[in-house]
Structure 1
């Protein structure tokens, strides 16, 4: 059999359902905040964090003594792209007592779940945005655009090979989980995506805004070793070539909070991010990047949809292609939020791995607008954030039967 290079090997999990065979913990009485190092937030590629970034995992659903219910355990999840890199299956919190139809277990709370979600986010959000505001005032930085993003998915853990899984199952310990690397896996099944478009879009009052078909070409820059240039490109249909229209430094994360929802099939990630537009490139630098982009060949048979002729994937010793994203996104908006439903086909040249995913995210525009006001009461930010969390809980985390 002829050798097929990794770039041309298509994964069979393009439409793999989200790895959540059961719901999570039925009780929702007490929260536990587990702070983790920034390196633990993602382990599938380069992610750039601000100097004062906050990364935290919250789990809601422990009992009065901060213990997991006996029905909750860690179980291995089959995920090809992760197993290829780490050699082991990632793990997910699974509640074995819940039925396969995805019906909720009754639980009792001193407050509503969306109030708890908002409280888990508010303090870190306010503190992190103060740092963002200081960055926005710094004249040495390129143009900074902050955004508050909520994404649905599933928190997965990568255990150490030295850990005895039998002992973990007998005594599930939050302190052990705190030390493990985690991944927020955002790939959703097609049935969930279709439900969002058919039922949720009209229910939350957002209107279709636009469809975007964009190629993101990720470049390393030898003069910016800690950053990645993200080149947004469109296709010139008359020539069948890529055309560069914007360059950004890789999205900077100022706050990442992962919230495990114990009686749901999905978890929630809330991120405060900033995009920095690259405005200080010389004509020669821009020309080198344009030449690199224009040499790409559109190829639907490879992951990411692009390939480069041999020797053309770099520009001298300065720029080098390290990744490709082909994103087709439908955008829906109202004055308070913007919903993005996208299909992303990715390939990472550094790890020789790729995956095609369906993803759903929300930009919380009204909260961000409030944060940027000169004088604003914390209570008003909290109220809007709580409204958003209730909308997310009712419409995006209550779709268990669409995850099968």
Structure 2
């Protein structure tokens, strides 16, 4: 299906009026969802703001609730998840999907237009909340970021519900009630395809490569947040600390299942706080933790601490990530391809994964403008979704 620019679309496509700024506040309250998905699986801490929006929905259905007969909900064997929850998650699969054939979409709108329409109201409402935070007189620097991630939405069913019943009665309304997580570990072959084919085809230039460690700290004075300390290895082979951020606010998380594609999509409006208000004693406690870390490539996460050295003052080490990331960029987008080796000190579970993150920088710049042009944002959002649809949502059968 060819892309039709917004100003050239036929009038038979279902249209709805674009929201205006004065309507955003009631929309924001209307769409708040405080469901069970608001847990960070690596810290076991609540990290969303009270007014965060979290949604899941599917694209490409004949109606809004019913899945086609070719789509099944199948159990997925992932050792890491089994260690954490003791049960196999389920994922939507289309066994008959042939990746070499063209997928037919019998929809009133192009799928990327449908996604943009579903997201627009919540995106505008969420950014209004971000704008208020940015304008408040705080010493902390706020960095809004809109990220698109590819992966697979995994669901957790009640043990009392059989797979046979699920397959016979599979609807979106059923799945909305279940606990879920977004699994971002993509196959190596997919990562190589993105780097070797998609990057040059879409005009992204290599920008940088970073090898960093992120030490996750719990703060007894902020029990519902996690401090993330970014570190590098200096010339002496020791861990060197240079930045600490508060990972607390995620204003919008949209998980999108796409039965006629092999990958799902997550759109996340994120706000990080670069902390500048710690006391000297607090900063010294953080530096003591970083200085006592031992770099060890043989352990998950790449770092370990001597006995009784994993806490200092009000801070405790709860996790560590060793991240090797390559960044590609153009004027509108920033693509980050990263290998993340993680370890959770609370659960003693680790995982290494390949991940693809696409930062929609042009769209964020438009959202930050003093006078928000809703039509311009809508067009840019559609362009971004079309770009992602064409270049990032196709690979071999996922998780096999």
Do they fold alike, i.e. is TM over 0.5? yes
Unaligned stretches of 5+ in structure 1?
Answer: 1-28
1:187 aligned counterpart, secondary structure: coil
3-state SS of paired residue (1:39): coil
- 8 A contact 2:39–2:47 mirrored in 1: no
Q: CA deviation at 1:226?
A: 1.4
- Alignment match, 2:270: 273
The whole-number CA distance in structure 2 between the counterparts of 1:117 and 1:65 is 13
Matches within 5 A, 1:114-263: 114-140=112-138, 142-238=140-236, 240-263=237-260
Q: Answer whether contact 1:90 1:157 (CA < 8 A) is retained.
A: yes
Q: 1:203 to 1:47 in 2, by over 3 A?
A: farther
Q: Cα gap change, 1:320/1:43 in structure 2, threshold over 3 Å: closer, same or farther? A: closer
Say which SS state the counterpart of residue 272 (structure 1) adopts: strand
Is 1:326 the equivalent of 2:326?
no
| Counterpart check, 1:67 vs 2:89 | no
Aligned 8 A contact 2:62 2:106 in 1: no
CA-to-aligned-CA distance 1:43-75 (integer Å, 9 cap, x gap): 623351112100000111222473111221211
Does the 8 Å CA contact 1:191/1:402 hold for their aligned counterparts?
Answer: no
1:392 maps to what in 2? Answer: 388
Provide, for residues 194-249 of structure 1, a one-character-per-residue CA deviation record: whole Å limited to 9, x for no partner.
Answer: 111111111111111111111000011111111111000010132x1111100000
Deviation at 1:399, TM superposition (A): 3.0
Taking the aligned partners of 1:223 and 1:377, their CA distance within structure 2 comes to 40
Maintained 8 Å contact 1:102/1:400: no
- The answer to whether the 8 A contact 1:43-1:181 is kept is no
Contact 1:102 1:401 in 2 (8 A): no
Alpha carbons of 1:43 and 1:173: their partners in 2 closer, same or farther (altered >3 Å)?
Answer: farther
CA shift in 2, pair 1:149/1:98, >3 Å:
same
Deviations 1:63-113 (Å, cap 9, x if unpaired)?
A: 2473111221211000111111211100011123334x5644323232212
Q: Distance in 2 between matches of 1:403 and 1:84?
A: 18
Question: What is the aligned length?
Answer: 370
How far, CA to CA, are the matches of 2:378 and 2:123 in structure 1?
10
TM-score of the pair, normalised by structure 1? 0.87
Asked whether 1:56 is paired with 2:55, we answer yes
How far apart are the structure 2 equivalents of 1:375 and 1:260?
33
Moved more, 64-73 or 371-380: 64-73
Summarize deviations over 1:256-307 as a string: whole Å, max 9, x none.
0011112100000000000001111111211111111010000000000000
Question: Which whole-Å CA distance do the structure 2 matches of 1:126 and 1:371 have between them?
Answer: 8
- After superposing the two structures, state which structure 1 stretch, 173-182 or 209-218, moved more: 173-182
Task: Structure 2: give runs of 5+ residues left out of the alignment.
Answer: 1-12, 15-30
What SS class does the counterpart of residue 338 from structure 1 fall into? Answer: strand
Q: Structure 1 residue runs of 4+, over 4 Å off?
A: 401-404
Whole-angstrom distance in 1 between the partners of 2:352 and 2:167: 32
Looking at structure 1, the residues matched to 183 and 136 of structure 2 have their Cα atoms a distance apart, in angstroms, of 34
Contact kept? 1:323, 1:349, Cα under 8 Å: yes
1:175 Cα shift? 2.2
